[in-house]
Amino acid sequence: MNRDFDIENGTLDYYSGNAEVVRVTDGVAAIGENSFINNQTLTEIILPEGVTEIQDSAFAGCKNLKTVSLPSTLETIGTEAFYGCENLKEITFPSSLKAIGESAFAYCASLGAVSVPGSVRTIGEHAFESCSEIVELTLGEGVEKIGCDAFCECVKISELNIPESVTHIDKGAFCACGISDLAIPDNVISIGKDAFHNCERLKHITIGKGTKEIGDGAFGHCPQLEKIETDKDNGVFVVKGNCLIDAENKILKQAVTGYDIPCDGSVATFADGAFGGIKSITSFEVPAFIEKIGDYVFSDCERLKRLTVNRNNKYFTAQNNCVIETATGTLIAGCDPSEIPSDGSVKIISGGAFSVSEDVYSLNIPDGVEKISEFAFATFPSLRAVKLPDSLAEIGDSAFLNCERLESVTFGSGLTRIGGWAFSSCKKLTQVEFPESLRVIEEYAFYENPLVTAKFRSPKNWFMKDWRENETKVKLKNAKKAAALLTDKNNTYSFRRK
C-alpha cells in the first residue's frame, strides 16, 4: 500500500505525496472531498477501474494538472472537482458517467474540447464556466438539462448542436459564447434568462415548436443578431417586425436590428433588456399602447440621445429624455443621468436605466428620489463623486459596484439602507460619513474598498450578523475601527441598528 494515500472504506481521503504523476492504487471506489486540493506538483492523475465517484473539490486548484485518465466505471464528478485546473488540456468522459456537478471544470482555461456523453442527464450549474479555450463542444443525445451558466464565457465555442433530448436550457447557460447560428430543437421547453446573452457573433436564431418559456434577455446584447424565426406550430412565440413576441402575454421579448414594433394589439409590454445592445438606436418613442416596461430596456444602446413617449400613452411620461412610469415615479430609462428631472416626479431610479458611460464624472441625484435600484450605476468607469439627496432612503444591491474611480460619496439625511455589494470594489473610496438615519448595511457593501475612516453619526446600538444569523454587538464610534470592520477582506457580515 502506498503510504502517500490515506484510504478508508474504499475512499481515498487524502494524498500526502509530491509526485508529478500519480497512479491511484487499485481497490479505491471514491476520490474523496479535497483529497488533492491545491496540489501544485501534480501533472498527471491515473484513476483505476472501480472508481465510481470523484467527490467535491477533489482536484480543485491543481494548477499544473495537465492529464487525467478516467476509468470506465466513473459515474459522478462532484462540485468543483477540477475547479481552476488551468493547465488541464483535455478530458475524456466515459459512457458510464451520470453526473457533472456544479462548477466541476469551471476556469479550466486550457481545456480545448469537451464531449459530454448522453448518459449525463443534467450538466451542473457553472460546470464549464470560463473555459475560454474550448473550441469544440459535443453534447450527447440523452442530455436533458443544461444548468445555469454551464458554458458561460466559453468564448471560442463557435458551433453548437443541441441534441433533441434537451428540454431545459437554464439561465446564462451559453452567455458570451462565440456561436453564430442557433437552432433550438422542438423538445426544448424552456430557455432561461440571459441564456444566450452577449453572444457577440450570433446572427440567426430558430426556435422550435415546443418552446413555451423564454426568459428576459435570453438573446439580449447580441449586436450582430439579424433574424429570429419561430416554428409555425409554436403556439406561444411569434416573430413580427423583427421582434420576438410572447403572443399569449403580449410581451416583446427581444427586438433585433431593423425592428418595427407591431401596432396590431400583439404587444403591450417591453421585457427586461428588450432593446439592449442595439447600437443603431439613436431615438425612441414609447408607443401609446405600451403598458409596462422592464429594466435595462435600452442598456448599452450607446447612440441613444432622444427618448419620448406618445402623448396618448396613459402609463408613461417623458421628461429630459427620461421615460418615467407615472403611477410609481420610476425612471425606467434615460439618456444622461445629469438630466434626471428635479421636479419631484422621479421617486425610483431603476436598474439599467442609464447605459454605462465613460463621460459621467459626477452624479447629483435630485431631491425627491427615494430609491436607487440594484446595479443602477454599477461599473461607471469615470464616476468620481456622488451626491445623494435627503429624500433617498434606500441604495439597492450593487448600485455602485465596480465604480473604480469613485472617491467621494455624500449621503443624505434620510438614508436607512445600503444594499449588499453597493459600493464594493470602489477602489478609491477612502472615507465615508453615514447619517443618523442609517439602520442597515448589508453584507459586502464596502468589500475590497480602501476605506480608512467610516464615521457613524449614530454609532450606538449596532449589531453585526454573520451568515449563520449570529448577532454580535459592535462599537462603531472609532471611525478607523469601523472602516476596518466594513472592509474586512472576508466580510460576510451585515450591520443593523436596533
- In this predicted model, what pLDDT tens digit does every residue of 363-419 receive, in sequence order? 999 999 999 999 999 999 999 999 999 999 999 999 999 999 999 999 999 999 999
Task: Identify whether 225 is part of a domain.
Answer: no
Question: Residue 148: what pLDDT?
Answer: 98
Task: Identify whether 108 is part of a domain.
Answer: no
pLDDT band at 134 (very low <50, low <70, confident <90, very high): very high
Task: Identify whether 378 is part of a domain.
Answer: yes
| Average pLDDT over the chain, rounded to an integer | 95
Its pTM stands at 0.90
pLDDT in tens, 296-327: 999 989 899 999 999 999 999 999 999 999 99
CA–CA distance, 488 with 478 (Å, rounded to integer): 16
Domains: count for the chain: 1
Residues paired with residue 323 on neighbouring β-strands, in sequence order? 318, 333
Question: Residue 210: what pLDDT?
Answer: 97
With beta carbons less than 8 A apart as the criterion, state whether 344 and 368 touch.
Answer: yes
Question: Residue 241: what pLDDT?
Answer: 95
pLDDT in tens, 138-172: 999 999 999 999 999 999 999 999 999 999 999 99
Question: Residue 2: what pLDDT?
Answer: 66
pLDDT in tens, 212-250: 999 999 999 998 999 999 999 999 999 999 999 999 999
CATH number at residue 485: 3.80.10.10
With beta carbons less than 8 A apart as the criterion, state whether 366 and 391 touch.
Answer: no
DSSP 306-365: EEEE-TT-SSEEEETTEEEETTTTEEEEES-GGG---SS---EE-TTSS---TT--EEEP
What is the grid cell recorded at 495? 450591520
Task: Identify whether 385 is part of a domain.
Answer: yes
Question: Residue 468: what pLDDT?
Answer: 78
CB atoms within 10 A of CB 279: 12
Question: Residue 490: what pLDDT?
Answer: 67
Question: Residue 3: what pLDDT?
Answer: 78
Q: Nearest-CA neighbor of 202 among 258, 155, 241?
A: 155
Q: Nearest-CA neighbor of 447 among 419, 409, 477?
A: 419
pLDDT band at 459 (very low <50, low <70, confident <90, very high): very high
Task: Identify whether 43 is part of a domain.
Answer: no
* pLDDT mean over 31-41: 97
Task: Identify whether 63 is part of a domain.
Answer: no
pLDDT in tens, 179-214: 999 999 999 999 999 999 999 999 999 999 999 999
pLDDT band at 42 (very low <50, low <70, confident <90, very high): very high
pLDDT band at 466 (very low <50, low <70, confident <90, very high): confident
With beta carbons less than 8 A apart as the criterion, state whether 351 and 373 touch.
Answer: yes
Q: Does the pLDDT of residue 13 top 60, yes or no? A: yes
* pLDDT mean over 16-31: 94
Task: Identify whether 457 is part of a domain.
Answer: yes
Percent of the chain with pLDDT over 70: 99
Percent of the chain with pLDDT over 90: 93
Q: Does the pLDDT of residue 68 top 80, yes or no? A: yes
Task: Identify whether 12 is part of a domain.
Answer: no
CA–CA distance, 315 with 305 (Å, rounded to integer): 22
Q: Which domain does 478 fall in, by range?
A: 356-498
* Least confident stretch, 22-31, 131-140, 313-322, 462-471: 462-471
Question: Residue 492: what pLDDT?
Answer: 77
